[in-house]
Amino acid sequence: MINIVILTLLVVIAIAIIRMKDLFAVVMLLGIYGLLSASFFVAMDAVDVAFTEAAVGAGISTLLMLVVISMTGRREITTRHKPFSALFVVAITGFLLIYGTLDMPYFGSADAPIHGHVAPRYINDSMQEIGIPNIVTSVLASYRAFDTFGEVVVIFTAGIGVLALLSVVRRPEDPEQIAVINDSMHERHLVIRIIAKILIPFILLFALYVQFHGDFGPGGGFQAGVIFAAAIILYTMLFGLSTARRVINQSLIRLVAATGVLLYGSVGLATLLSGGNFFDYNVLANDPIAGQHLGIALIELGVGCTVAVVIIIIFFNFAARREMQLNNKKQHQDKKNKESSSC
């Protein structure tokens, strides 16, 4: 029953998103949509997916969209839509899909073809072959390790893409000036800042826990990376970009992003040089199970590094762009004021 309730709510939110003109509200609704679908995933037993969706759909993507809205304005101007052609395309696609469901196995039926053939081996044999209880982690990190490698490369690509599009060459900052800004801001957000300072170590600790507990419960490199990044982003939001940049060196984190991908790939190369196929962890140690454990731990570490760092890079570049825009505007205004006063 619970899934019908959640689905209904999702429909309501989706319709609200169509109707709303205020982009701020739209983005918040999208965040709620993400969180609700995460709850739906829990109801569907997909705990790992739910964890990720909550972190990404409700967390990171909402955050990024909010940053962008602060640069682009929050009103949607409705000019001439093309609703009829859109409705036409959507109607055809929708009907085709519904037509397709007519021969689909019913929801939840255990004898559907999808549950036969490939999947049972994961459920029945992964304990003997890989030796960790979380089947999702087994499949993700060993049976289909190459897909996960691709996923890490995708996020790496996004990071490089954002750098290529948004990175600005910054002048080195005057540390004294930062101190002045910091002092002046000390009065504001005082309570939040102190609480955040208390919280951040725990968030980082939790990230480490998720990183290494992925074998036994929901979690793993990706989720850990996102949580780790969240702690840094929280710090950045409260203490300013300049301070955060002093804590986190920009060229260093680019290096870490590259290292994460390389670490993942090197595990593959190591297996290859030890005489196995690419990503065949069995050859990493004398005992196949130990080899699998070692391989999975290493690649999860690679995933965690890259994901955390790329998300930080993406956020920093968006924020820096915003800072640059504000500075330009300010300079522009100063110039104008000077001109008008000289007149």
Question: Within 292-321, which residues bind other proteins (CB under 8 A)?
Answer: 307, 314, 317-318, 321
Comparing CB distances to other proteins, the nearer of 43 and 185 is 43
Question: Any contact of residue 71 with other proteins (CB under 8 A)?
Answer: yes
Which among 31-39, 183-191, 242-250, 334-342 is the span making contact with other proteins, rule CB under 8 A? 31-39
- Applying CB under 8 A, among 32, 139, 296, 308 the residue interacting with other proteins is 139
Comparing CB distances to other proteins, the nearer of 32 and 231 is 32
Q: Which of residues 213-232 bind other proteins (CB under 8 A)?
A: 216-218, 222
Contact criterion met (CB below 8 Å) for 216 and 132? yes
Using DSSP, state whether 22 is helix, strand or coil: strand
State which amino acid sits at residue 154. V
Q: Which of residues 39-68 bind other proteins (CB under 8 A)?
A: 40-41, 44-49, 52-53, 56-57, 60-61, 64-65, 68
Comparing CB distances to other proteins, the nearer of 247 and 255 is 255
Using DSSP, state whether 207 is helix, strand or coil: helix
How many residues bind other proteins (CB under 8 A)? The answer is: 142
Lookup result for tokens 């519904």: 98
Question: How many C-beta atoms surround the C-beta of residue 231 within 10 A?
Answer: 21
Question: Any contact of residue 17 with other proteins (CB under 8 A)?
Answer: yes
Cα Rg of the chain (Å, integer): 24
Shortest reach from residue 180's CB to other proteins, in Å: 29
Rounded to whole angstroms, the Cα distance separating 131 from 134 reads 9
Comparing CB distances to other proteins, the nearer of 56 and 196 is 56
With vertex at residue 219, the alpha carbon angle to CA 124 and CA 259, rounded to the nearest 5 degrees, is 110
Question: Any contact of residue 341 with other proteins (CB under 8 A)?
Answer: no
- Applying CB under 8 A, among 101, 182, 249, 331 the residue interacting with other proteins is 101
Shortest reach from residue 313's CB to other proteins, in Å: 10
- Applying CB under 8 A, among 2, 3, 327, 330 the residue interacting with other proteins is 3
| Residue 40 CB-half CA count within 13 A | 16
State which amino acid sits at residue 119. A
Contact criterion met (CB below 8 Å) for 130 and 142? yes
Rounded to whole angstroms, the Cα distance separating 238 from 253 reads 20
Which among 128-136, 194-202, 241-249, 330-338 is the span making contact with other proteins, rule CB under 8 A? 128-136
Comparing CB distances to other proteins, the nearer of 240 and 276 is 276
Question: How many C-beta atoms surround the C-beta of residue 161 within 10 A?
Answer: 11
Comparing CB distances to other proteins, the nearer of 112 and 194 is 112
| Residue 160 CB-half CA count within 13 A | 11
